[in-house]
A and B are shown apart, each in its own frame.
Chain A
Amino acid sequence: MLQLIKVSGKSLFPEYREGDFVLVAKIPFFLRHIRQGDIIVFDHPVYGLMIKRVERLVPERDEIYVIGTHEFSVDSRTFGPISWKVLVGKVIWHIQIPR
């Protein structure tokens, strides 16, 4: 129901940095309450396990648009919306690498 995951890459920099940890809730209650701006983890069929911010939701089409903060972030601008089916969980705790 809860999973600790390590962040790699820079697409959510500077808020999330390489080496940060996140606690991800897989509890259905949290998954039903995903909102714009939430940070989510999902298992993309091509790119694998990814962490991004929710840009917008299209519930009627079962779609979530995700986005990174970095200019060259690979996200829905590249691969389009993701399906709810690939959603792993919502980040509920961010453990930052010492700065």
Chain B
Amino acid sequence: MIYKLAEALDKKFNFDEAKAHCDIPCGIYDPITAQIAALTVVRMIDLMKELEEGHADHNEEYQNSMARYVAVKEEHAEKAKHEIRVIWGDYIKQQHVDKHPELNGLVHKIMQLGSKSRQTADRDQAVQFVDAINQFAEIFWDTKGIAIKRAKAPYKPGLEMVYPNL
């Protein structure tokens, strides 16, 4: 009601505007890239397991596929870590940490889980990696005042993901 009154007065008297000026319109940051990369890590571990179970003979075909899955797992675990580091380093400010004091510890945990996901084929660790990045996404969207929703990813491995509820 008070806002409507101020708005009506503004229309009549045309108040001065004070600029909360930004240099360029907006930085584009979105944790979804990290979330998808972490999900890919879990998918690669699943494919590795399926391959292992389906091939008694570790022939060239097997070696080739396994090498590719491991390479993609490596690449995406590092990509997820990189994306989180960029958002944490470039976007996150002190007031965000003040509001979410667990944030720095969470980022450290993501870095460690990402490394574990590269070093091992442990699915539980990789799922924890996805979960930790989802927690990061939840905090990220909160800093932007945007509500979130949780839904299963519409592709394998179909884990629950955090999305902005736009």
Residues of A within 8 A of B (CB): 3-14, 16, 18, 21-22, 41, 47-52, 68-74, 78, 95-99
Contacts and interface: CB of A to CB of B under 8 A. Distances in A.
Contact of B22 (A5, A10, A16, A21): A10
Given A71-B91, A71-B93, A8 B22 contact: no
B90 interface: yes
Given A71-B27, A95-B2, A11 B17 contact: no
Contacts of B97: none
Task: Indicate the size class of the contact surface on chain B.
Answer: 20 to 34
Interface string B6-28: 11011000011111111110110
A8 B15 contact: no
Contact of B20 (A9, A21, A97): A9
B138 to A, nearest CB: 15
A91 to B, nearest CB: 9
Interface string B91-132: 101010000000000000000000000000000000000000
Interface string B77-92: 0000000000000110
B15 A4 contact: yes
Contacts of B7: 21
B145 interface: yes
Given A49-B17, A68-B20, A73-B21, 12 more contacts: A4-B6, A4-B10, A7-B17, A8-B20, A9-B20, A21-B10, A47-B19, A49-B18, A50-B19, A50-B21, A71-B90, A96-B3
